[in-house]
Amino acid sequence: MIQPILYEIRLLGLLLLFSGIIGYFFNVLTPALVVGVTLYLLRNLYQLLFLFHYVITRKRTPSLTPIGFWEPIYNELERLHTRSRKRKRTLHRFTSRFREVSSVIPDALVLLNAAEEVVWANPAARHLLGISWPRDEGVALTKLVHYPDLDEYLTNADYSQPLEFPSPTNKTVVLSMRFTPFGGKKRQRLIVARDITKVFHLNLIRRDFVSNVSHELRTPLTVITGFLENLSDHELLPFQERPFELMNQQAARMNIIINDLLTLSRLEMENRITHPSPVPVPELLTTIVEQAKALANQKGGYQLEFEVDENLWLVGTENELQSALSNLVFNAIVHTPPKTKITISWKRDADNNACFTVTDTGPGIPQRHIPRLTERFYRVDKARSRQSGGTGLGLAIVKHSINRHEGNLSITSKEGFGSCFSCCFPDDMTLDANQLNPVKQKK
Ligand code: ADP
């Protein structure tokens, strides 16, 4: 850095010395010095013009050899040029790769800005969603995809569950649309829409199959139980008594399984409850607690504790909620030994959600079983559960019922310390009994 400056000082010094000597000899010292300085300035102006040309034309090499402090300036510019060219090449390579990859992805990808307008879309978005980029750039998503629930989905901005709907371009195709917020303040969104027609139909077939089989089994079972009832009116021979008792038990068990399967199929038909009405949860809990006490006494006595917010109601379907909440309470009695402490609470949590929690100090559930407990027929101990009359369908029914009420079931447990089953409903599914009109309160 010091070299170019020394060069410039030397150049200016030499020019002034040379013009000073000439001026001294010809007795025109001042004009000669002015000429010397002017020459130095003209030389720099000349260099500046070349620099201007070099920057504007973006040439790779300067058209004159820079000297003095012009040399490091040119060198720095050259370094910046090279770096920027490299970056451009990398960016270009990356953009073409991204275009190539996004064009072969079978799922539709759409980028939305904060105003929910299309910013970019890949080619698959054209045949799955009818969105073509760049044609539709800047157009609002709701103007391109006409689906009644889409507006509400975007307003709620709850993207935890994907939106499933028929493709706007082909009604026989079922799409699952997932929204992922990204960017500053997470106001932009990436949409991934996937063709789930096959999975959707397989699910329908499975649901219909289970429902049909359950219905079909019901008729022969009704006949069998009818005959068993008839037989119970007759005197049985001693060797017939035990088989008869077992037949009765198994028929009753089969009846429960069929009923549970039919309940599950019915719950699966719709993701949301269809005719919501105010549900007096504290009243439901009073009935559940009475039944729980009776069951607890039968099993040898439990320490039951309650904490109920008397004004906290829900909006939903009463019998579905009754069955879900009672299932959690009865499970705590059925799957724990006598004398266990069971705490039942119904109140708001810190986020104002309404939470129903059943905590027990029973043996707990090993961690590996917890994620699978809500699967159909999943039981930690099959033999014991069967003995206690369980079908393994209870928690699957609970989960579906709670989800249909926009709630969430969470299970925590620690072996040797007990379990906690909790279902929380969002504030907008709750009602304050104090604010209800008298007609509803009488319900
Ligand atoms: P079941 O008809 O067997 O009760 P569920 O679906 O209701 O079926 O429960 C699934 C399994 O979860 C039960 O078989 C049991 O092993 C376990 N479980 C449920 N609740 C509890 C609890 N409070 N304590 C320990 N295990 C439990």
Sheet holding 354-360, edge to edge: 303-308, 341-348, 354-360, 418-425, 408-414
What is the whole-number distance in angstroms between the Cα of residue 86 and the centre of ligand 1?
A: 63
Model pLDDT, residue 61: 67
Phi/psi zone of residue 92: left (φ > 0), alpha (ψ -120 to 50 degrees), beta?
A: alpha
Q: Tokens 């699966």 map to which residue?
A: 268
- Residue-level pLDDT, tens digit, the chain, 443 residues: 788 889 989 999 999 999 999 999 999 999 999 999 999 999 999 888 888 888 888 776 666 777 888 888 888 888 998 899 999 999 999 999 998 999 999 999 999 999 999 999 999 999 999 999 999 999 999 999 988 888 888 888 888 889 999 999 999 999 999 999 998 788 899 999 999 999 999 988 988 898 899 999 999 999 999 999 998 888 888 898 899 999 998 999 899 999 999 999 888 887 788 889 999 999 999 999 999 999 999 989 999 999 999 999 999 999 999 999 999 999 999 999 999 999 999 999 999 999 999 999 999 999 999 999 999 999 888 777 777 778 899 999 999 999 999 999 999 999 999 999 999 999 999 999 887 754 444 44
Give the Å distance between the CA of 394 and the centre of ligand 1: 8
- Looking at residue 439, its pLDDT comes to 44
327 Cα–ligand 1 center, Å: 9
* Tokens encoding 37: 């300085």
Which residue puts its alpha carbon closest to atom 24 of ligand 1?
335
Token code pair at residue 26 = 């010809």
Q: Is 132 helix (H, G, I), strand (E, B) or coil?
A: coil
* Residue 262: alpha-carbon gap to chain centroid: 30
Find out whether 401 and 267 touch, Cβ atoms under 8 Å: yes
| Ligand 1 atom 8: residue of nearest CA | 392
Q: How far apart are CA 355 and CA 410, in angstroms?
A: 11
Kindly state the DSSP code that residue 388 receives in the 8-state scheme.
T
Longest alpha-carbon distance in the chain:
153
Q: If you take atom 20 of ligand 1, which residue's CA is the nearest one?
A: 331
Closest ligand 1 atom to 331 CA:
20
- Cα of 385 vs centre of ligand 1, distance in Å, is 7
The per-residue pLDDT for 14 is 94
Going by CA atoms, what residue is nearest to atom 7 of ligand 1? 394
Please state the atom number of ligand 1 nearest to the C-alpha of residue 379.
Answer: 14
The protein residue whose alpha carbon is closest to atom 27 in ligand 1 is: 335
Nearest residue to 407 via CA among 332, 353, 326? 353
- For residue 108, give the 3-state DSSP assignment: strand
HSE-CB at 311 with a 13 A cutoff on CA atoms is 7
Pocket (CB within 6 angstroms of ligand 1): 331-332, 335-336, 360, 362, 365, 373, 379-381, 385, 390-395, 419
CA 315 / ligand 1 centre spacing (Å): 27
Most informative mutation of 342, 395, 398 for ligand 1 (most atoms within 8 A of CB): 395
Which atom of ligand 1 is least distant from the CA of 391? 2
Question: What is the pTM (predicted TM-score) of this model?
Answer: 0.69
Do the bridges between strand 303-308 and strand 341-348 make them parallel or antiparallel, or are there none, so unpaired?
parallel
Q: What is the pLDDT of residue 441?
A: 46
- The HSE-up count of residue 6 (CA atoms within 13 Å, CB side) is 3
* Confidence (pLDDT) at 54: 82
Confirm if 358 and 343 have CB atoms less than 8 A apart.
yes
Atom of ligand 1 nearest to the CA of 385: 3
Q: Which residue minimizes the CA distance to atom 2 of ligand 1?
A: 390
Instruction: Measure 208 CA to ligand 1 centroid, in angstroms.
Output: 26
Asked if residues 188 and 111 have their Cβ atoms less than 8 Å apart, the reply is yes
Q: What spacing in Å lies between the alpha carbon of 396 and ligand 1's midpoint? A: 10
Residues 6+ apart with CB under 8 A from 109: 102, 121, 122, 124, 125, 190, 191, 192
Query: Among the atoms of ligand 1, which is closest to the Cα of residue 381?
Result: 16
Ligand 1 centre and the CA of 145: distance in Å? 44
- Would you say 131 and 144 are in contact if contact means Cβ atoms under 8 Å apart? yes
For atom 14 of ligand 1, which residue has the closest CA? 379
Write down the number of H helices and E strands in the chain.
13, 13
Q: Which of 327, 334, 343, 385 to mutate to test the pocket of ligand 1 (most atoms within 8 A of CB)?
A: 385
Ligand 1, atom 13, lies closest to the CA of 379
The answer to whether 434 and 382 are in contact (CB under 8 A) is: no
pLDDT value of position 440 = 45
Name all domains of the chain by residue range, CATH numbers in brackets.
2-98 (no CATH), 105-195 (3.30.450.20), 199-269 (1.10.287.130), 277-442 (3.30.565.10)
379 CA to centre of ligand 1 in angstroms: 6
Q: DSSP letters along 141-188, please?
A: HHHHS--HHHHHHHHHT--SS-EEEE-SS-TTSEEEEEEEEESGGG-E
| Predicted pLDDT of residue 404 | 93
